[in-house]
Amino acid sequence: MSPDHDHRPSDLDRTERPPHALVSGASIAGTATAFWLHRLGWRVTILERATGFRAGGQNIDVRGSGREVLDRMGLTEAVRARTTTEVGTRFVDEHDRPVGEFPTVPGEGDGLTAELEILRGDLATLVADTLPAEVRWLYGDRITAVRETADGVEVDLAGGGRESADLLVVAEGVRSSTRDLIMDDVVHDPLGLYLAYGTIPRTDDDDRWWRWYTAPGSRQATLRPDNRGTVRATLAYLSDSTGLETADHDAVVSSLQQTFADVGWQVPRILDGYADTDDLYVDFLEQIRLPHYARGRVVITGDAAWSVTPLAGGGATLALVGGYVLGAALSRWDGTSAGLDRALSGYEQWMRPFVDQVQKLPPGVPRLAYPHSRLGVSLLRGATTLAGTRPGRKVGRLLGSGPQADQPLPPFG
């Protein structure tokens, strides 16, 4: 797609009709973008591949610049009322004895557990609920072809339909198929780590801590509270081979049963819970890097543009900030094609340094955090105990409590 820099007769006359955005993907990045574009007076259509709004998903957090955006959306208190109620992060040994504790102290900033921990589906629902009835929703369909036209962009849908818009916003997450249709230079950076997560029944032993157990063989298990009376369990392990992410439920459970067979702690219970749950999800973590976030009349945002993975953290924060920054950039659009190029490059210029900062993993991650030997696990526990002391926690907070952009959020024009 090559944008035309001339002021063509087809360029938008903003006095006549508001511009139309087609937003593909109805999670945090898609709904946040729709929120700001609707505020600007745009007509918005949201296209979602799933047959209904996806309200599921695991624990995510909103930190730093994401908190500022949430404030500007007027949603901070609504999020606070729906947090997962987690009180802190506790690293434990095989007998569930604490080896290091990181409580979240109100007023002291975010620790490993942030002040605003919420389920992904709850946050997406909160944002979606702010959208008025004139925002159009299309479910159960996806884009199969993208064409730039004289006055915008046109897409074919798998269901046989066709949509046109002034701007296509791709917010389809890390495995975005529309991004892959229009960009052949997507960099996938695998982290060599599988992460499975699912919802399992709560027991009397479960508390409000995020409990974290590391076992030899580069394996980890965690249990987190939610606000639904259930528990969110993850199993993670280092692996260089892929394929499990496309396997069916029974094959995933059986593979995890083999990989985690000899791991004690709460793992047998997690595996039993996984066998019975219908929201088991497994993913091979990879970061996404794009040479450009926009091409012609198409702009990419959220995990589709810059997946950071849960290892780096900050995916939800970046999705919220991306929606705001795109809105701010488009608030200065004069309706011409050249003006759109300028607006979209303004979005990219603001976002890229922030994304680069968030994508950077601490040295040794994930290898040091997933030791193979018993000695490695003991050393990691020693380091965790030290970091969990009062001075250690203070240093941790000074090093940063979440993704905070170096520059202020851009104003709306």
Alpha-carbon dihedral 317, 323, 324, 329, rounded to 10 degrees: 140
**Cβ-based nearer residue to ligand FAD, 120 or 211:** 120
Amino acid at 350: W
Q: How far is the CB of 317 from ligand FAD (least distance, A)?
A: 5
Beta carbon nearer to ligand FAD, 11 or 20: 20
Q: How many angstroms separate the CA atoms of 227 and 225, rounded?
A: 7
Nearer to ligand FAD, 54 or 249 (CB): 54
Beta carbon of residue 179, minimum distance to ligand FAD (angstroms, whole number) = 9
**C-beta closer to ligand FAD: residue 11 or 303:** 303
Residue 88 gets the label, from left (phi > 0), alpha (psi -120 to 50) or beta, of left
DSSP state for residue 253 in the 8-state scheme: H
Smallest distance, Å, CB 196 to ligand FAD?
9
CB atoms within 10 A of CB 282: 22
Judged by the rule CB under 6 A, the positions of this chain that interact with ligand FAD are 24-30, 47-50, 54, 58, 60-61, 120, 142, 171-173, 176-178, 195, 197, 302-304, 310, 313-317, 319
CB distance 235 to 256 below 8 Å = yes
Report how far residue 84's alpha carbon sits from residue 242's, in angstroms, rounded to the nearest whole number: 31
The DSSP secondary structure of 118-172, one letter per residue, reads EEHHHHHHHHHHTS-TTSEEEES--EEEEEEETTEEEEEETTS-EEEESEEEE--
The two three-digit tokens of residue 185, written as one number = 């230079």
Residue 337 C-beta: closest distance to ligand FAD, Å: 25
CB of 124 to ligand FAD, least distance (A): 7
* Cβ–Cβ < 8 Å for 270, 200: yes
Q: Which is nearer to ligand FAD, 12 or 30 (CB)?
A: 30
Q: Which is nearer to ligand FAD, 189 or 262 (by Cβ)?
A: 189
- Taking the complex as a whole, the smallest distance from the CB of residue 162 to ligand FAD amounts, in Å, to 15
Element containing residue 21 per DSSP (H, E): strand 20-24
Find the residue with minimal CB distance to ligand FAD. 315
* Cβ 173 to ligand FAD shortest distance, Å: 3
Nearer CB in complex with ligand FAD: 11/110: 110
Closest CA to 306 of 357, 234, 341: 357
